[in-house]
Amino acid sequence: MKRNNPLKDELEEEIENDVKPDVNFDTCITEIMQNSQNRIYGDLSSNGKILILEKTPDIEKTYKFNRMYINPSAGKLNIPIHMVNINGDGKKYDFNSDWASTYPYNMFIYKIKKEYYVVCHRHGGSGCKTIFCSVCNKVLKKHGIKMEMNWIPPTTDDSSNNYNIEKITLICKEKPSPDEADELNKNTKRLPIKKELTLNLNAGFGTINTILGKYQIKEISKDLALSQIKTEINDEEYNSASLVIKIGKVKKKIAWDDFEGLIEGFDITDKVANTGNNFLKKLKECCDDFITQLLGE
């Protein structure tokens, strides 16, 4: 954490004397809980997403580190929700955009010496680290503090986490007029596809493989990667893409926007499957092992 500019006048003396911020992660989590309990949703939302934390953190100290477990719920805002009771009478429920559909997530925050490490458990292809960082910074900004999170790629020799990108399909979707866009949003229809181009990456295309490789290791952004691929094929009209990846013996098609989720973690499904009531305990063990491996201890 470091000093932030909004309170530079109020904190001028502290900044000049290089006084370290008297705010820590515990303070941040406490204030997020207070905002959740007091329903101060403006401080809990950012970029169309919201994060709510109502359960008291579970803190455990070991000889290696202090671990805080939190169970926030997160989801998207301003999207009408249509719910169906599939195990009962099939009754349907409609909620307007005043409601937010949120899902629970497991997060483990490790304090090791003077550093914090946050391990996020993704499921269903989605996570909450981005909105978590945004909400933390909304809280910390009031203290004149800014938090920066550095992504650390998981390193593992587990073959289940190795995958190969076999194909990329570049997609050009029609750009609707403003009136058509409003109608599409109301009816949740997909944009019509104007043209597609599929490239078999096992048959060559070394430059495109190199671009994807740079994106995988976070050397370039998602948007820049797609821009460079369009330049390579000399066609700037494409505005989306999908990928076919092979994990072990299984092939899977994923959207371009979902590819980032794949490269930001490794799969622990086999390790936590069929653990029943011991799921959380096993998940903690996986996170502890990951942190231990990450730090080389």
Q: Given a cut of 80, is residue 231 above it in pLDDT? A: yes
What digits encode the pLDDT tens for the residues 174-230? 876 655 555 545 554 567 788 899 999 988 788 998 898 888 767 788 889 999 999
DSSP-based helix, strand, coil % in the chain, nearest 5:
35, 30, 35
Average pLDDT over residues 134-145: 86
Q: Say what the pLDDT of residue 42 is.
A: 92
Looking at residue 29, the DSSP 8-state letter turns out to be: H
Q: What are the pLDDT digits (tens) for 96-123? A: 988 988 999 999 999 888 788 898 887 6
Question: 49-52 and 45-46 as β-strands: parallel, antiparallel, unpaired?
Answer: antiparallel
Among 47-56, 137-146, 226-235, 236-245, the range scoring the smallest mean pLDDT is: 137-146
Question: How many angstroms separate the CA atoms of 125 and 118, rounded?
Answer: 18
Tokens of 171: 């997609």
Phi, psi of 130 (to 5 degrees): -65, -50
Residue 152 is predicted with a pLDDT of 67
pTM comes to: 0.62
* Enclosing H/E stretch for 132: helix 129-141
Residue 270's DSSP bridge partners are none
* Whether 118 contacts 149, CB under 8 Å: yes
**49: β partners:** 46, 76
d(CA 5, CA 13): 13
pLDDT computed for residue 193 by the predictor: 82
Strand extents, DSSP E, the chain: 2-3, 45-46, 49-52, 58-61, 66-70, 73-76, 81-84, 92-95, 101-104, 106-112, 115-121, 145-146, 163-173, 193-200, 240-247, 250-255
The DSSP 8-state label assigned to residue 63 in this structure reads: S
Which tokens go with 29? 């989590």
Arithmetic mean of pLDDT, 49-55: 93
The helix or strand, by DSSP H or E, that contains position 167, with its residue range, turns out to be strand 163-173
Domain spans of the chain?
2-152, 159-265
Amino acid at 241: A
**Secondary element (H or E) of residue 295:** none
pLDDT at position 160? 42
Mean pLDDT calculated for residue range 134-155: 78
What was the pLDDT predicted at 156?
47
pLDDT higher than threshold 80 for residue 296: no
SS3 178: helix
pLDDT in tens, 56-75: 899 888 777 889 999 999 99
Residue 127 phi/psi, 5° resolution? Answer: -140, -170
